[in-house]
Amino acid sequence: MTAPAIIPARGPADRLTALFWRRPRLLLALLLTPPLLWLGLVYLGSLAALLLQSFYSIDEFSGRVVPEFTLKTYAELLRPSNYDVIIRTVLMSAAVTIGCAILAFPIAYFAARYARGRWKAIFYLGVMLPLWSSYLVKVYAWKLILAKEGIITWVASATHTTPVLDAILALPIIGGNSLSTSYLGMFAVFVYVWIPYMILPMQAALERVPTSMLEASADLGATRAQTFRTVILPLALPGIIAGSIFTFSLTMGDYIIPQIVGNSANFIGMAVYQLQGTAGNIPLAAAFAVVPIVIMLIYLTLAKRAGAFDAL
């Protein structure tokens, strides 16, 4: 006669596992509660506090914040000095986005159509490698490259193209004493820092373009330019818009590059940093911070309608 099987006593862990197995929604709730609380209290709570403080004002005599609802702070954004900051930031963000799209497209197209195996791995390594290095190190390195004593000036002198460089620096608005103190230099640094965020979504969108459509376009007698304009570009547009979400928003909120490279002209990020720090004008800083949020909400709505999120 065989002995009865001995079932070991169930411990607390076994009972807990059985409970979660019978009630999977309880496990899901326990897993989601901490991040949702963090998101609700810290992220959304800080945004709510930011929005609330933007409706306060500051007493011009005492410098204290007056916690009374008013639109006076938003009216200050329409002052020429503040309005110029917003326009300057939006224009630079748009220029950086266009520059990143133009430079990233051939790289992304090559990776999507021709890179295979080891070459694709090298492509991803080359795109991601700059993101592993320190942000400040890259910006200061570019400041040295663009300086009057930098490598660009040395190359221009060695190739006898210094007059060309001087002519570029003499251009109104974008020029300056050197590339490191000009809008052109700031634009170059912004493009270098943010271009990986444009390449990756664009490459993902281009990989979804069926080869059969390109072959059909060629069979119908379309030239390469016509194929690019009528087939490749429309299908790659969601990826371009997805990448522009990153480049546009990151440029709008950045305050480090404009402080290190450029002519010290104010941008929204710098204005927020200075107003909440040295100036102590929290309401105006909050109002400035609301501007890129509103712009990006509008931009994200338009991007969603264009199907850009499918390329993320």
264: left (phi over 0), alpha (psi -120 to 50) or beta: left
**What number of CA atoms fall less than 13 Å from residue 162's CA on the CB side?**
9
Higher pLDDT residue, 252 or 42?
252
pLDDT-based confidence at residue 6 (cuts at 50, 70, 90): low
Section 218-233 average pLDDT:
85
Q: In the structure, what pLDDT confidence band is assigned to residue 308 with cuts at 50, 70 and 90?
A: low
CATH architecture of 72-132+197-311: Orthogonal Bundle (1.10)
State residue 271's pLDDT score. Answer: 86
The rounded radius of gyration (Å) of the Cα atoms in the chain is: 27
pLDDT score of 311: 52
Please report the pLDDT score of residue 309 as a whole number: 66
Enter the tokens of residue 296: 């990006």
Strand partners, 66: 57
What is the domain partition of the chain in residue ranges?
72-132+197-311
- What are the φ/ψ torsions at residue 160 (nearest 5 degrees)? 60, 35
Continuous H helices in the chain = 12-22, 24-38, 44-54, 72-76, 80-113, 118-132, 135-146, 151-158, 162-169, 183-207, 211-219, 224-227, 233-253, 257-260, 268-274, 282-305
Query: Cβ(127)–Cβ(199) under 8 Å?
Result: yes
Indicate the SS3 state at residue 69: coil
